[in-house]
């Protein structure tokens, strides 16, 4: 059963009911107030605060997109890129591409012109759909991207080389296109986060998309009464696959274009949201605003909010404890996943296991997991090894990259590159990324453990730990620390706070700086290594 059939079912059974709401806070149009992940994006002028779409209109728009592609003679299997901010048009375009038998290729809204060019050529994109926020990045490369022959524009002020999508699709039929889809048909190409260089293209089929619907709905029990607040970017598997629970349950979702704590609470209150998925920095900012009295929870209607869950990165237990202290009646959950495993859920904590906060959980619904050594053999419980997962959402391959595919796909198992261990109850704990492990004096040091310790210091807003070259020990740990606004802190205070750690785990160097994160909340450690390792490498060479 292809995923498009869920949309058709919802349109048939619940056509007049609300499917999607877009909220565009007026303050977000001011560059000085835009959320930091949007800093590379021009603001959208004149966008209305609230827009809404029913299931019937959602399906009709998807059909028009599909019929537009078919009317242009676009063959089955054509790759169509989506370069849009979260908006009401995003998901109908995605489903319209699928209904035409084409492959959707969502693209990161932070890509530079060269990254856009690289990814479109890597994925063999032939058609590009983009919005007004990206004109300045598209102008220098439009017409020069190998293979791209058609540009569709969504918004006001279409450039000369692009066609206005909403205008040209309005002449197309809103009836279902005559395209038969199979579970094994390729459906989408997603890109890895690119934290180790240029992204890799990840190929998924319709069966994988459907499996993510079933996994998400099983984990969080979405019903038609739920309202999901979706804030992270839809180009990423995480946001979209959590929304798939709303698709399966035919429940409403709210797309919020911004992450200021006030906007989040206002959206939950005004739209009566019952489920919200946050990234670690957003949850921290919201709690800080409440603790500092900037916001008052009593000013908002929050009683209906039943679940807050976090994913896409290691979650500090201290953060969850703060949240549950502030909101004791909320359920909490976390999901682990990769774009290669069709997003979140291959490992899942479960709302009933809050006593295991700190763990990422057990294998998710329809999934298996194992922790193995360098030879691929299972390690004893309690020992650290590489986490591997197996299930219906594992990618088909890295598109056009057989060597990289062989490195991570071994039989039915996906080797995640994450180091983990399992406790006596079978719960899995992330230790760190395999490539981020610091080897100092022959000891393996896992930066996440040090980061979790430092985040419990009440002056610290965010922290990242990396390895720096050292002539004697090979590497030493350095902590990049972001202090909460309005507070001061010294290196001596940090060193004193770390005295409870084993000596070999204590950071040898402290830097006070912003901690860069990508749009899905992951710390951009390559950026930090590039910034701080150069001087340390020279120092290590001198000392040697």
CATH number at residue 185: 3.40.50.12780
Q: Is residue 455, in this structure, part of any structural domain at all?
A: yes
The residue out of 260, 287, 318 marking a domain boundary is 260
Contact 106, 82 (CB under 8 A): yes
The residue out of 236, 260, 284 marking a domain boundary is 260
**Start-to-end C-alpha separation, the chain:** 63
Q: Residue 122: what pLDDT? A: 95
Ranges of the chain with pLDDT below 50? 28-45, 195-196, 537-544
Q: Is residue 380, in this structure, part of any structural domain at all?
A: no
Phi-psi category of residue 426: left, alpha or beta, with phi > 0 → left and psi -120 to 50 → alpha = left
Q: Is residue 322, in this structure, part of any structural domain at all?
A: no
Distances (CA, A) of 160 to 1, 45, 128, 152, 233: 40, 20, 14, 11, 28
The range of the structural domain enclosing residue 502 comes to: 437-543
Contact 533, 293 (CB under 8 A): no
**Buried b vs exposed e over 372-405: b needs ≥16 C-beta within 10 Å?**
beeeeeebeeeebbbbbbbbbbbbbbbbeeeeeb
pTM above 0.75, yes or no: yes
Distances (CA, A) of 142 to 114, 139, 190: 11, 5, 21
Q: Is residue 168, in this structure, part of any structural domain at all?
A: yes
Half-sphere CA count of 207, side-chain side, radius 13 A: 11
Alpha-carbon torsion (180, 181, 182, 184), positive or negative: positive
Contact 153, 138 (CB under 8 A): no
Structure tokens at 349: 């904590």
Q: Is residue 31, in this structure, part of any structural domain at all?
A: yes
**How many domains does the chain contain in total?**
2
Per DSSP, the three-state class of 153 is: strand
H helices of 182-277, in order, are 206-220, 237-249, 261-271
Torsion of CA 244, 250, 254, 259, to 10 degrees: -30
Q: Are strands 227-230 and 409-410 parallel, antiparallel or unpaired?
A: unpaired
Structure tokens at 377: 């053999």
Q: Is residue 504, in this structure, part of any structural domain at all?
A: yes
Euclidean distance between CA atoms 448 and 454, whole angstroms:
10
Q: Residue 18: what pLDDT? A: 97
Q: Residue 238: what pLDDT? A: 82
Torsion of CA 166, 168, 173, 178, to 10 degrees: -100
The residue out of 199, 228, 260 marking a domain boundary is 260
For residue 525, give the CATH number of its domain.
3.30.300.30
Contact 278, 47 (CB under 8 A): no
Q: Is residue 513, in this structure, part of any structural domain at all?
A: yes
Q: Is residue 471, in this structure, part of any structural domain at all?
A: yes
The H or E element that residue 129 is part of is: strand 125-130
Structure tokens at 459: 């002056």
The H or E element that residue 463 is part of is: strand 460-470
Q: What are phi and psi of 394, to 5 degrees?
A: -65, 140
Select from 264, 89, 69 the least CA-distant residue to 149: 69
């Amino acid at each position: 059963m292809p995923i498009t059939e869920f949309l058709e079912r919802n349109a048939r059974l619940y056509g007049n009911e609300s499917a999607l709401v877009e909220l565009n806070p007026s303050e977000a149009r001011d560059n000085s107030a835009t959320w930091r992940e949007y800093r590379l994006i021009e603001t959208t002028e004149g966008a209305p605060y609230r827009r809404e779409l029913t299931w019937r209109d959602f399906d009709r728009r998807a059909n028009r997109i599909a019929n537009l592609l078919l009317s242009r003679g676009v063959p089955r299997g054509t790759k169509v890129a989506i370069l849009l901010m979260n908006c009401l048009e995003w998901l109908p375009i995605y489903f319209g591409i699928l209904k035409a038998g084409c492959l959707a290729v969502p693209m990161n809204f932070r890509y530079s012109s060269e990254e856009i060019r690289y990814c479109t050529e890597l994925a063999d994109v032939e058609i590009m759909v983009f919005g007004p926020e990206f004109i300045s990045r598209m102008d220098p490369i439009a017409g020069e991207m190998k293979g791209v022959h058609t540009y569709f524009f969504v918004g006001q002020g279409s450039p000369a080389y692009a066609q206005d999508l909403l205008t040209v699709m309005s002449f197309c039929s809103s009836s279902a296109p005559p395209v038969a889809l199979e579970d094994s048909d390729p459906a989408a190409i997603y890109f890895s986060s690119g934290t180790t260089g240029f992204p890799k293209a990840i190929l998924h089929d319709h069966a994988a998309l459907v499996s993510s619907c079933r996994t998400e709905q099983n984990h969080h029990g979405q019903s038609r009464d739920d309202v999901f607040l979706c804030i992270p970017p839809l180009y990423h598997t995480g946001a979209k696959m959590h929304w798939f629970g709303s698709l399966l349950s035919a429940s409403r979702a709210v797309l919020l274009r911004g992450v200021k704590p006030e906007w989040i609470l206002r959206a939950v209150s005004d739209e009566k949201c019952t489920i919200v998925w946050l990234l670690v920095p957003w949850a921290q900012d919201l709690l800080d605003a409440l603790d500092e009295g900037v916001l008052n929870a009593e000013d908002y209607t929050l009683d209906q909010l039943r679940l807050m869950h976090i994913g896409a990165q290691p979650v500090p237990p201290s953060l969850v404890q703060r949240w549950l202290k502030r909101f004791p009646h909320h359920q909490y959950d976390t999901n682990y996943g990769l774009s290669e495993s069709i997003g979140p859920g291959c490992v899942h904590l479960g709302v009933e296991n809050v006593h295991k906060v700190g763990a990422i959980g057990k294998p998710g619904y329809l999934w298996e997991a194992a922790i193995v050594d360098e030879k691929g053999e299972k390690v004893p419980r309690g020992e650290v090894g590489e986490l591997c997962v197996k299930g219906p959402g594992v990618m088909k391959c890295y598109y056009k990259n057989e060597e990289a595919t062989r490195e991570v796909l071994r039989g039915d198992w996906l080797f995640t590159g994450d180091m983990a261990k399992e406790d006596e109850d079978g719960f899995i704990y992330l230790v760190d990324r395999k490539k981020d492990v610091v080897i100092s004096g022959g000891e393996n040091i896992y930066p996440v453990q040090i980061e979790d310790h430092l985040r419990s210091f009440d002056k610290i807003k965010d922290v990242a730990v990396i390895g720096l070259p050292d002539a004697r020990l090979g590497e030493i740990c350095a902590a990049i620390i972001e202090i909460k606004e309005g507070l001061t802190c010294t290196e001596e205070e940090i060193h004193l706070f770390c005295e409870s750690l084993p000596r070999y785990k204590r950071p040898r160097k402290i830097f006070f700086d912003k901690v860069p994160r990508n749009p899905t909340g992951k710390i951009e450690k390559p950026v930090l290594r590039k910034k701080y390792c150069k001087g340390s490498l020279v120092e290590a060479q001198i000392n040697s």
